[in-house]
Chain A
Amino acid sequence: MDTEVGTRPDGQEARPTRAGRLRALLSAENVIAVVLFVALFYVPYFLVGFPVYVLPQYMLFGVLALTLCLLWGFGGMVSFGQAAFFAIGAYALGVTLRDVGGPTAPWLGLLLALGLGVVLAAVIGWFLFSADVRDSYFVLVTLALSTITQVLANSESQLTGGFNGMFVERVTLPFGVVDVSLAGDLAAYYVIFAFTLLCYLLFRYIQWSAFGRVLVSIRENEDRSRALGYNTALYKTVAFAVSGGVAAVAGALYATDAGFVSPTLGGVLFSTSVVVWVAIGGRHYFIGALIGGIGISILSQTLNARIPEYWQLLLGLLFVVAVGFFRRGIVGTILELPGRMRSRRG
Chain B
Amino acid sequence: MPRPLGGFDRRAFLTASLLGGGAVLAPSLLSGCAPQSADNGGGGGGGQDGPIRVGVISPLSGAWTVYGKAHSAGFQMAVDELNAAGGTLGRQWEVVIADSRTEPQVVTEQANRLIREEQVDFLAGTFSSAERNAAAPVVTQADKLLLYPTFYEGQSQEFYPGVCNPNVFMFGPEPSEQVWPHLEYMIREHGGRFFMVGSDYVWPRETNRLTKQRLEELGGSVVGEVYIPFNTPQYGSLLGDIGRSGADVVFLSLTGSDTVNFRRQFAAAGMKQDFTVWTVDDEEAATSGVGPEATEGDYVSFDYFWSIDTPNNQKFREKVRSAYPDVIMNTVGVAMYNAAHMAARAIEEAGEVSTDGIRSALAGMTFDQAPQGTLTMRAEDHQATLPSYLVRARPGWTSPDDMFEVVNQVESVEPETAQCDDLPLSGA
Contacts and interface: CB of A to CB of B under 8 A. Distances in A.
Interface in A12-64: 12, 23, 26-27, 29-30, 33-34, 37-38, 41-42, 44-50, 52-54, 57
A207 B23 contact: no
Interface string B102-117: 0111001100110011
Nearest to A7: B6
A57 B202 CA distance: 27
Interface in A104-152: 150-151
Contact of A262 (B98, B99, B105, B229): B105
B9 A26 contact: yes
Given A164-B130, A165-B133, A49 B38 contact: yes
Interface string B7-31: 1111111011101100110110000
Contacts of A8: 2-7
Contacts of A259: 108, 137-138, 141
Contact of B5 (A38, A205, A213, A304): A213
Given A9-B2, A167-B162, A262-B130, A186 B13 contact: no
A336 B36 contact: no
Nearest to A210: B6
B184 interface: no
B40 interface: yes
A49 B116 contact: yes
A227 interface: no
A197 interface: yes
B146 to A, nearest CB: 13
Contacts of B161: 167
Interface in B23-50: 23-24, 26-27, 33-40, 42-43
A6 interface: yes
Interface residues of B, number: 67
B230 A12 contact: no
A44 B38 contact: yes
B200 A155 contact: yes
Contacts of A212: 5
A312 interface: yes
Interface of B: 1-13, 15-17, 19-20, 23-24, 26-27, 33-40, 42-43, 60-61, 98-99, 101, 103-105, 108-109, 112-113, 116-117, 128-130, 133-134, 136-138, 141, 159, 161-162, 199-203, 205, 227, 229-230
Interface of A: 1-3, 5-12, 23, 26-27, 29-30, 33-34, 37-38, 41-42, 44-50, 52-54, 57, 150-151, 154-155, 157, 161-165, 167, 183-186, 189, 194, 197, 201, 204-205, 207-208, 212-213, 216, 219-220, 258-260, 262, 264-265, 269, 284-285, 301, 304-305, 308-309, 312, 327-328, 336, 339
- Report, nearest first, the 3 A-B pairs whose CB atoms are least far apart: A6-B6, A163-B201, A44-B35
